[in-house]
Structure 1
Amino acid sequence: MTTDEFISIAEAAELLFVTRPHVRELIASRDLLAVQCVDGEQRVRRADVLTYKERQLAAAKAWLSSQTEEE
């Protein structure tokens, strides 16, 4: 696997534990960048998907740590 490896939308969805339509929404909102392949399918860079996943996990952890239990 190289850092420039491109994966399908289905593979990206699997890595992110989301649906394919959600990955398409991420592409439309430019949260993920995609390239159009010769076969007409869109592909995303695996490294970009993993970076996005890390950012989302960090944001979730930050939010969770900011929550305090009311007494």
Structure 2
Amino acid sequence: MSTDEFISVAEAAKLLFVSRPHVQELIAKGALLAVQCVDGGQRVRRVDVLTYKERQLAAAKVWLSSQTEEE
């Protein structure tokens, strides 16, 4: 698998376990970079999606570990 492999927004959504519109919001916010296809759709690099996913999981783990159980 090439690091420059591009996937569709729908495929990115499946990898991230989110909706297509959410991936499109991430693209609009600049969290993911996309290229415009000839057919009008957008594509993102698979490695960028996986990197984003890892960052989100790491942030969730940090947040979870900061939570204390109240007695």
**Matched residue, 2:35:** 35
Per-residue deviation, 1:70 = 1.7
**Matched residue, 1:26:** 26
Per-residue deviation, 1:38 = 1.3
Matched, 1:50 2:56: no
RMSD in angstroms over aligned alpha carbons?
Answer: 0.6
Return the letter of the residue paired with 2:48. D
**Matched residue, 2:65:** 65
Partner Cα separation in structure 2 for residue 7 and residue 70 of structure 1: 44
Partner Cα separation in structure 2 for residue 41 and residue 69 of structure 1: 46
Partner Cα separation in structure 1 for residue 41 and residue 49 of structure 2: 17
Partner Cα separation in structure 2 for residue 32 and residue 39 of structure 1: 20
Unmatched runs of 5 consecutive residues or more in structure 2: none
Give me the identity figure in percent: 85
SS of 1:48 mapped into structure 2: helix
Partner Cα separation in structure 2 for residue 3 and residue 11 of structure 1: 16
Per-residue deviation, 1:48 = 0.2
TM-score when normalising by structure 2: 0.97
Partner Cα separation in structure 1 for residue 37 and residue 10 of structure 2: 15
